[in-house]
Amino acid sequence: MQNEIYSLYHLSIDPANYDALKALVDELVAATAKESDTIAYEFLVNADRTKVHIIERYRTQGLLPHVRQTFSPYAERFLALVKIDQLYVYGDTTPEIREVLDGFGAIYLTSFAGFTR
């Protein structure tokens, strides 16, 4: 996880808001796909459309531009449709990154064993 950040968002959603969220997320994913430092950006939903997870992986320098430039225009509409239940953050963070992610209630975890291929 050196020079990378992974995050896992656990969100709750009213199933009546799913279609609006899906349309918004389609726009957000298209915008995020243009970011050179975003490695993975995936949205997953359970069968009854009450829980959504977001899996994100960035080169460390790519997270703040994503939040400040790409996500920012969508933030108000996005956060009106979902509730962030939990955010887990893994990898190399900086004080600036923590300042931004703390606003989402982030829990930071540091690797102490293992490997990535």
In the Cβ-directed half-sphere of 80, how many Cα atoms lie within 13 Å?
6
Q: How many domains are there within the chain?
A: 1
Q: How many helices (H) and strands (E) does the chain have?
A: 4, 5
How confident is the model over 74-101, as pLDDT tens digits?
999 999 999 999 999 999 899 999 999 9
Indicate whether 93 belongs to any domain.
yes
Cα 11 vs. chain centroid, distance in angstroms?
A: 10
So what's the pLDDT on residue 117? 83
Whichever domain contains 28, its CATH number is: 3.30.70.100
Residue 35 covered by a domain: yes
pLDDT band of residue 1 (cuts 50, 70, 90) is low
Q: pTM above 0.85?
A: yes
The stretches of 5-115 forming alpha helices (DSSP H) are 18-32, 63-65, 72-81, 95-102
Cα torsion angle, 33, 96, 61, 65, sign? positive
